């Protein structure tokens, strides 16, 4: 189901024409659908049936506090990777006890803040980090709840930049070292072993990598149980892909059923946690942009738009594909093949190569599937302000982040004294 569809030739977000939003807010801007976020989250939640589970939304996918608040209202937990993300969750009404803290380089101050707020689990990525958590918890006079993020060395068959579960990745404790690491954790006075975590990558389009990694994790759970170390929760990460370019990823039900079949095969009924980000947010948003110029070279046609790689980094960073659609269908024009390029002074500032479009200067284009890893990766390169973010709720429009002003770009900077 898509919440961005044409009605009488006009592309809508739910029941609002995108042209109307662009006229009111300007471009570039991100437009999200409340119904899309809620539907995606509920589809995952429902797939578990009555099996005990938690959904920890990956805040890095889209961290706007309106998005986080919407999910918190549904009962979502959150997967964070920084103190800043935890502060966002708390500002949005999230519960710290429903938060897992991942990431490979947690500082002492971040750990003090997270442990002090009572997060459910610190997902530890190295033995060195375990020692730091022990020191921080001892200083605070508390016992910290932890899980090790283990690395099962399973190929998720995705882009290497978003592959995190193989031996060469910076993430996680190697499976060969995990058993000893858990024994070390169990012996520390200010550490409580809570769970085991595993996340192998993102934009995964088949269930077999998930099943393969789960099998390895469950074998470790059994070994730990034989040693008297009880795991209370399986955090199986995220990574379920979406349709960007005709991919056919597993449905939520297929994804969850594969997990449940894996645990049942081993006779294990531990609560399961998952960390979806892209699956919930990816197709819940678009980036609106205006065509500033058309440029025709001998070998290329360019549609030069007002959104650039600073607004949407994925195509430049990952060579990621996003569909690009005309906001207003023009049946009288002639389609041409364009590279859709932005204003940033880099040759890599291309939102899409070789796109067949019927467009003219002044027209609006929608870059689809831009709800995840889009605004959250935006920056100010070339001293460009970051765009506004808008949430559509049926026939209502809410600005959930104002467009930055030029003055914001130098806020906090200062001249040298004479």
End-to-end CA distance of the chain: 62
The b/e string for 55-89 (b: 16+ C-beta within 10 A; e otherwise) is: bbbbbbbbbbbbbbbbbbeeebbbbbbbbebbebb
Closest to 114 (Cα-Cα) out of 187, 127, 132, 399: 132
The residue ranges of DSSP E strands in 315-395, in sequence order, are: 324-326, 336-341, 350-357, 364-367, 388-393
Q: Which residue has the tokens 């709800």?
A: 371
Is residue 2 packed enough to be buried (19+ CB in 10 Å), middle (13-18) or exposed (0-12)? exposed
How is residue 244 annotated by DSSP? S
The reply to whether omega before 28 is within 30° of 0 (cis) is: yes
Which one from 345, 410, 415, 416 is the annotated catalytic residue? 345
8-state DSSP, 328: B
Q: Is 52 exposed, middle or buried (0-12, 13-18, 19+ CB in 10 A)?
A: exposed
Phi then psi for 284, rounded to 5 degrees?
-100, 10
**How far is residue 290's CA from residue 224's CA, in Å, rounded to a whole number?**
57
**Does residue 198 carry a catalytic annotation?**
no
For residue 182, give Cα distances in angstroms to 113, 221, 397. Answer: 24, 10, 49
User: Do residues 151 and 173 make contact, with C-beta atoms less than 8 angstroms apart?
Assistant: yes
User: 141 - beta bridge partners?
Assistant: none
Active site residues: 345
């Amino acid at each position: 189901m898509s919440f961005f569809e044409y009605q009488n030739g006009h592309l809508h977000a739910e029941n609002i024409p995108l042209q109307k939003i662009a006229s009111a807010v300007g471009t570039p801007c991100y437009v999200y659908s409340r119904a899309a976020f809620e539907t995606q989250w509920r589809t995952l939640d429902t797939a578990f049936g009555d099996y005990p589970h938690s959904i920890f939304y990956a805040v890095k996918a889209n961290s706007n506090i309106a998005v986080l608040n919407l999910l918190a209202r549904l009962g979502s937990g959150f997967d964070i990777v920084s103190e800043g993300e935890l502060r966002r969750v708390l500002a949005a009404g999230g519960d710290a006890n429903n938060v897992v803290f991942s990431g490979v380089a947690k500082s002492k101050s971040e750990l003090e803040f997270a442990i002090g707020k009572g997060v459910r689990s610190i997902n530890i990525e190295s033995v060195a980090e375990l020692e730091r958590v022990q020191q921080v918890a001892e200083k605070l006079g508390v016992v910290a709840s932890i899980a090790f993020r283990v690395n099962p060395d399973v190929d998720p068959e995705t882009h290497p930049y978003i592959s995190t579960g193989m031996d060469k990745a910076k993430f996680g404790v190697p499976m060969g070292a995990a058993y000893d690491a858990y024994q070390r954790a169990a012996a520390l006075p200010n550490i409580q072993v809570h769970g085991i975590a595993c996340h192998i990558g993102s934009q995964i389009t088949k269930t077999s990598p998930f099943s393969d990694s789960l099998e390895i994790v469950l074998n470790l759970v059994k070994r730990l149980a034989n040693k008297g170390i009880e795991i209370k929760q399986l955090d199986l990460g995220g990574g379920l892909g979406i349709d960007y370019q005709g991919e056919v990823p597993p449905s939520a039900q297929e994804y969850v059923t594969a997990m449940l079949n894996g645990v049942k095969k081993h006779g294990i009924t531990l609560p399961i946690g998952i960390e979806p980000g892209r699956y919930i947010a990816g197709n819940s948003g678009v980036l609106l942009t205006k065509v500033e110029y058309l440029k025709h070279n001998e070998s290329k046609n360019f549609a030069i738009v007002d959104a650039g790689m600073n607004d949407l980094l994925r195509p430049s960073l990952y060579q990621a594909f996003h569909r690009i659609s005309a906001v207003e269908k023009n049946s009288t024009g002639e389609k041409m093949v364009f590279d859709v390029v932005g204003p940033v002074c880099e040759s890599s500032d291309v939102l899409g190569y070789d796109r067949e479009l019927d467009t003219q200067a002044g027209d609006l284009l929608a870059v689809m599937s831009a709800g995840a890893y889009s605004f959250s990766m935006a920056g100010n390169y070339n001293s460009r302000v970051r765009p506004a973010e808008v949430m559509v709720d049926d026939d209502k429009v809410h600005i959930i982040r104002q467009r930055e002003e030029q003055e914001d770009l130098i806020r906090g900077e200062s001249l040298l004294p004479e």
